[in-house]
Amino acid sequence: MLIEFSVGNYRSFKDVVTFSMVAADLTADNNTIHNDNLFAVDDDLKLLKSAAIYGANASGKSNLIKALAFMKWFMINSSRQTQSTDDIDIETFRLSLETENNPSFFEIVFLLDGIKYRYGFEATTKKIVSEWLYYIPNVRESKLFERKEGQINTIKRYQANGVEKLTRDNALFLSVSAQFNIKIAEDILNWLTNSLQVISGLNDSSYRSFTVKCLMENENKTKSST
């Protein structure tokens, strides 16, 4: 389950912005409506079942969706659909000299099998500048791996088995890890592929098959015909 998504120095976003599904500590006028839209993960974390992004034209709504879609695609495909000489398809914020040479920032926080993970990376069009994966097994956040300027450090639990040396400058270590059957990486990319669906009305070609699949399932077929 998605908890937060952050992006910075990408398209219309100069500074890092965060889309969060964490419920605010507010009381609605109608408590029934308020509580029906909450999902309690534990005593300390409540998430929204739905949220809306709204704003004026050209305020960045579509670019936020594009950023999430790019991050998902790159996490899944950077190791298998790019070559060592390929550029990374990143468009930085262009209206400031301050950021033109800085990497773009992407980070996602999510819940998988009851465990909270935080994964992110910084990248230019030429290389991955940094990459990280943390998780919270109990109370404190712990590192699974961290990458800075080509150096990748992992903990024993991640079981990298030498994959660090096989990771190109323009490919994500997480993506390469999944390709070499590292279980944690495989589980994360399976969640991305099967559970995080990015849908945009500007381009429906990427989710037509998902829509057809939903309609073909017996439960949804009954709902759509009534």
Report the predicted TM-score, pTM, of the whole model to 2 decimal places.
0.85
Radius of gyration, alpha carbons of the chain: 19
Asked if 150 and 169 touch (Cβ cutoff 8 Å), the reply is yes
Looking at the fold, whether 18 and 82 belong to one and the same domain comes out as: yes
Looking at the fold, whether 127 and 205 belong to one and the same domain comes out as: no
3-state class (DSSP) for residue 193:
helix
> What's the token pair of residue 175?
């993506």
pLDDT tens by residue, 73-111? 999 999 988 888 999 999 999 888 889 889 999 999 999
Looking at the fold, whether 209 and 186 belong to one and the same domain comes out as: no
pLDDT mean across residues, the chain? 88
Looking at the fold, whether 206 and 183 belong to one and the same domain comes out as: no
Looking at the structure of the chain, the number of domains it has is 2
pLDDT tens by residue, 193-226? 999 988 776 666 656 777 787 888 866 655 544 4
Range of the domain at 205: 199-226
